[in-house]
């Protein structure tokens, strides 16, 4: 759902649903009725959300992020349970129909103003390895650098793998001052990106939220809760920033958040048979959360597997195929990754970004930033 497509209505009570239909029809807007949002993207991209108390409770149980222009609709004067549900879901206010018709109409009119168009949101890309050591962290870092250097859009690299070694070691920002995951005290809800960006390390044009600096003597504490992860991804996207998230290769609440929030999921796999078999198993649970997933194939191919062979084994389309990156291991050991424009990593990253450009989140976010 795009913001211009309609209003999301989650109202079980038929009499109340009829009132909602009447008000929305008077505005000339399209209404999309459902019992629950089919995905997090549907929830966040609707122009406005109108829901009743029962639906609000279900949305809270699903851990959906707070968003603007949510109205809790009642048929009678709000009771304490209604207020509790409204606070929990982050509703802008409670409105009683038909008494508050004018309030609903005003919110819906505001939601359709050009300045509120969700196409101004930045793209979200999640990168996950098909097998251990598949190169997800390196490619996520390369993707963030290429976005920062090729487009007038800020790049926000988010470490979503509590079992990884830390993206700051890949980017080379481990000695940079700034907050890491253990330093953030977030309980979910909305986060302002400018303040978050100013508190985080930045290198090669990329703002990074990484795990603790274990090699610098920090106490490890990288467990990532889904609510704060959702909040920081949403903050970057709302600010028109390109968000790249390195995702753990195992089912986990935080993993599901990062996958579900993505406009595109990139599954990394080396071009050998065992890696492709592991990637096929990973693809099954990844696509169950977000079917908008493709493969990046990383050479060499010792057995001569072609990208078409990888696509057939894994069961996903190939977004890009890349040759080995010369000097990669040495760069990661000494100063971190610095992607050069003609390198295999940069070329593969640009191919993935070209898929996003067709979306066209990246192009429109860039136009807004220009």
pLDDT digits 0-9 by tens, 339-361: 888 899 999 999 999 887 665 44
Per-residue pLDDT at 284 exceeds 80: yes
The pLDDT score that the predictor gives to residue 195 is: 79
Domains 7-118 and 121-369 share a fold: yes
Question: Which residue, among 88, 5, 2, has the nearest Cα to 51 in the 3D structure?
Answer: 88
Percent of the chain residues topping a pLDDT of 90: 36
Q: Chain centroid to CA 224: how far?
A: 15
Q: Is the backbone peptide bond immediately before 355 cis, with ω within 30 degrees of 0?
A: no
As given in the structure block, the two tokens for residue 300 are 């060499």
Residues 6 or more apart whose CB falls under 8 angstroms from that of 157 comprise: 140, 141, 144, 167, 171, 206, 207, 208, 209, 244, 245, 246
- Has residue 281 got a pLDDT over 90? yes
Task: Give domain limits for the chain.
Answer: 7-118, 121-369
**Hey, is 128 helix, strand or coil?**
strand
Q: What's the mean pLDDT in 313-337?
A: 87
Q: What is the pLDDT, as a whole number, of residue 338? A: 85
State the average pLDDT over residues 287-303: 91
Helix (H, G, I), strand (E, B), or coil: what is residue 118? helix
CA 143 to chain centre: 15
For domain 121-369, give the CATH superfamily.
P-loop containing nucleotide triphosphate hydrolases (3.40.50.300)
pLDDT for res 115: 45
Beta bridge partners of 246: 127, 159
Task: Look at residue 213 and tell me whether its pLDDT is greater than 90.
Answer: no
What would the pLDDT profile of 35-89 be if each residue is shown by its tens digit? 888 888 888 888 899 999 999 999 988 888 878 889 999 999 888 888 888 878 8
Kindly tell me if the per-residue pLDDT of 364 is higher than 50: no
Peptide bond into 360 cis (omega under 30): yes
pLDDT for 190: 57
Three-state secondary structure call for residue 183: helix
CA–CA gap between residue 242 and residue 258 (Å, rounded):
14
CB 319 within 8 A of CB 293: no
Enter the tokens of residue 272. 């050998």
Provide mean pLDDT across the span 14-26: 89
If pLDDT is split at 50, 70 and 90, which confidence band does 245 have?
very high
| Cα 226-39-134 angle, rounded to 5 deg | 60
Q: Looking at residue 180, what is its pLDDT?
A: 86
Task: Give the length of the chain.
Answer: 370
Average pLDDT, rounded, for the chain: 83
- For residues 209 and 100, what is the distance between their CA atoms, to the nearest angstrom? 43
Per-residue pLDDT, 339 = 84
Looking only at the bridges linking them, the beta strands covering 202-203 and 206-209 are antiparallel
Query: What CATH superfamily classification does 7-118 receive?
Result: Response regulator (3.40.50.2300)
> Which of residues 67 and 316 earns the better pLDDT score?
316
| Interval 212-235 mean pLDDT | 71
Q: How many angstroms separate the CA atoms of 239 and 242, rounded?
A: 9
Angle between helices 53-61 and 80-89 (to 10 degrees): 40
Task: Out of 2-6, 59-63, 119-123, pick the least confident.
Answer: 2-6
Backbone CA torsion sign across 90, 362, 226, 175: negative
90-96 contacts at long range (C-beta below 8 A, 24 or more positions apart): 90/66, 90/189, 90/190, 91/51, 91/56, 92/68, 95/71
| Residue 209 bridge partners (DSSP) | 158
Q: pLDDT at position 221, please?
A: 53
pTM: 0.68
* Structure tokens belonging to residue 184: 């953030």
The pLDDT value given to residue 2 = 44
The predicted structure's pLDDT at residue 360: 44
Question: Distance (Å, rounded) from C-alpha 355 to C-alpha 370?
Answer: 21
Burial of 103: CB neighbours in 10 Å, binned 0-12, 13-18, 19+: middle
DSSP state of 65: P
Position 293 scores a pLDDT of 92
Residues 122, 356: contact at Cβ < 8 Å? no
């Amino acid at each position: 759902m795009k913001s211009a497509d309609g209003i999301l209505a989650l109202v079980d009570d038929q009499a109340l649903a009829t009132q909602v239909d009447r008000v929305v029809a008077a505005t000339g807007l399209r209404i999309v009725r459902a019992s629950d949002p089919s995905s997090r993207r549907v929830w966040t991209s609707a122009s406005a959300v109108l829901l009743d108390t029962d639906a609000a409770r279900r949305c809270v149980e699903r851990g959906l992020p707070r968003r603007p222009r949510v109205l809790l609709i009642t048929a009678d004067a709000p009771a304490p349970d209604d207020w509790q549900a409204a606070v929990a879901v982050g509703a802008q206010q409670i409105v009683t129909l038909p008494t508050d018709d004018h309030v609903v109409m005003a919110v819906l009119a505001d939601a359709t103003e050009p300045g509120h168009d969700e196409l101004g949101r930045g793209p979200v890309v999640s990168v996950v390895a098909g097998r251990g050591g598949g190169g997800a962290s390196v490619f996520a870092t390369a993707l963030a650098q290429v976005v920062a250097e090729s487009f007038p859009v800020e790049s926000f690299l988010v470490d979503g793998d509590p079992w990884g070694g830390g993206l700051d070691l890949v980017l080379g920002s481990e000695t940079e001052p700034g907050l890491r995951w253990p330093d953030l005290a977030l309980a979910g809800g909305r986060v302002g990106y400018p303040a978050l960006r100013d508190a985080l390390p930045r290198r090669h044009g990329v703002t990074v939220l990484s795990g603790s600096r274990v090699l610098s003597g920090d106490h490890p504490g990288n467990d990532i809760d889904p609510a704060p992860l959702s909040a920081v991804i949403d903050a970057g996207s709302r600010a028109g920033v390109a968000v790249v998230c390195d995702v753990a290769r195992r089912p986990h609440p935080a993993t599901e958040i990062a996958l579900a929030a993505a406009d595109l999921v990139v599954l990394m796999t080396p071009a050998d048979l065992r890696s492709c078999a592991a990637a096929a198993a990973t693809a099954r649970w990844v696509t169950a959360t977000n079917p908008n997933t493709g493969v990046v194939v990383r050479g060499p191919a010792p057995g001569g597997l072609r990208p078409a062979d990888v696509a057939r084994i894994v069961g996903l389309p190939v977004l890009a195929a890349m040759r080995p990156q010369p000097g990669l291991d040495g760069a990661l050991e000494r100063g971190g990754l610095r992607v050069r424009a003609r390198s295999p990593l940069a070329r593969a990253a640009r191919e993935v970004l070209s898929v996003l450009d067709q979306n066209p989140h990246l192009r429109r976010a860039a136009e807004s930033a220009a």
